[in-house]
Amino acid sequence: MNVAIIGCGGMGSYHAQMAANCGARIVACVDAFPEAAKKLAATHGAKKALGMKDLAKILSDPGVDLVLIATPTPTHLELVERAAAAGKHIFCEKPFCRTSADCKKAIAAAKRGKVKLFVGHVLRYFHEYEALKAQIESGKIGTPGWVKMYRGGMFPVGSKKWFSNFDQSGGVTFDASIHDLDWLRYMFGDAERVYCQALQRTEPVLMDYAQMTIRMKSGLIATVVGTWAHPSGFRAKAEICGSAGLLYYDSAESPLSAQQRESGAGPGMIIPLGADSVSPYQLEWEDFLAWVRDDRKPRVVPEDGLKAVALAEAALKSAKTGQPVKL
C-alpha cells in the first residue's frame, strides 16, 4: 500500500511511522509548511514533498492508494471530500470533523467515492483499555453502573496555535475528551443526555477544563473530566464501578508513557503511547489496512466518529447554555 501523508506535524509524523511499521510505503508528504513535508519525506524516502496548494498532484497520482489526514479538525471535511472524489482510501485523525453535519457530509463523500474511511479513535486499541473491556465483559465487576474517566495534560500548541482558537478546536471538551466519549459508546452504547461545565480561556492564559455528566441509554452514569491546565506531562484515569466490584486504571501508576512530538511550527502535543511492545497506533493501522486489503470490518467505522462528535458537540452546547442536552 502506498500512503500519502497530509499534515506532517506531530500526529502525521507518528502515523507515518506506524504505517511504515505495517509494511506500507510513504510515497508523498503534504503540509502547509513545505519544510515539514520535506523533513518527513526524507525520513521515509518519499519522492514527493509538497505544500497544500499542490495537493491535487498527489490526489491525482495513481501510485497513491490511500491518504492519512492529520491536519487541524476544521480542514477534515474538505480533505475527505477531495480524497474520496479521487478514489483514495482515507485514514482521518480524530475528531472526525468539527460538526456532526460535516461528519455526515464526509461519510456521504466516502460512499460516493466507494472508498474506505477510517477515523482514528485510538483508545479502542490501547492495551490498558482493552484489559478493562475484557474484565467488564467477563462479568468481573457485575453490572456496571457508574464510570469516571479523566484525561489531561499541558495545553497543546499546534501550527499557528490553532488549539487555542476554540471555534476551530472545540477546546479540551471536543479535541481530547472525545477519546473518552468514544470509549464510553464503544463499551456501553449510546448516550441519552449530557450536562457539561467548561472553562475556556484564551491568551494570555492558555487553559481549559471541562467536566461532563452523561446518562447512557442503558442507565449507566458517566463522569468525564478533561483538562489542558497541567504545566507539563499527561495523565489518564478510568474507574468503572459495578454491582460486584470496581476496576481502576491510572496511567501515573502503570507503564503507559507519553511522547511529545514537534509540529511544523513548534511544540505540538503529548502523544500517549502504551504499555505494550506494539503501539496502539500501529494496531489501528493494522486494522485499517486489513479493511482495505481484505474487506475485514474494523474496530472503528465512520459512524462511530460521527456519534463521538455529536456527543462532544452536545457537551459544548450544554456548557454554553448551562442546561442538559439530549442526544
Percent of the chain with pLDDT over 90: 83
Residue 210 cell numbers, joined = 471541562
Span 263-311, pLDDT tens digits: 444 445 555 655 567 899 999 999 999 999 999 999 999 999 999 999 9
DSSP state of 164: G
CATH superfamily of 123-276+301-326: Dihydrodipicolinate Reductase; domain 2 (3.30.360.10)
**How far, in Å, CA of 236 to CA of 108, rounded?**
34
Backbone φ and ψ of 70, nearest 5°: -135, 50
**pTM recorded for the entire structure:** 0.92
Q: Report, as an integer, the average pLDDT of 219-244.
A: 94
Whether 61 has a pLDDT exceeding 70, the answer reads: yes
Q: Do domains 2-122 and 123-276+301-326 have the same CATH topology?
A: no
- Domain 2-122, architecture per CATH: 3-Layer(aba) Sandwich (3.40)
Residue 258: the pLDDT is 40
Residue 275: the pLDDT is 55
Domain residue extents for the chain: 2-122, 123-276+301-326
**Nearest C-alpha neighbor of 309 from the set 147, 104, 126, 140:** 104
Span 75-88, pLDDT tens digits: 999 999 999 999 99
How many C-alpha atoms does 286 have within 13 Å on its Cβ side? 9
**Nearest C-alpha neighbor of 5 from the set 85, 91, 73:** 91
3-class secondary-structure state, position 48? strand
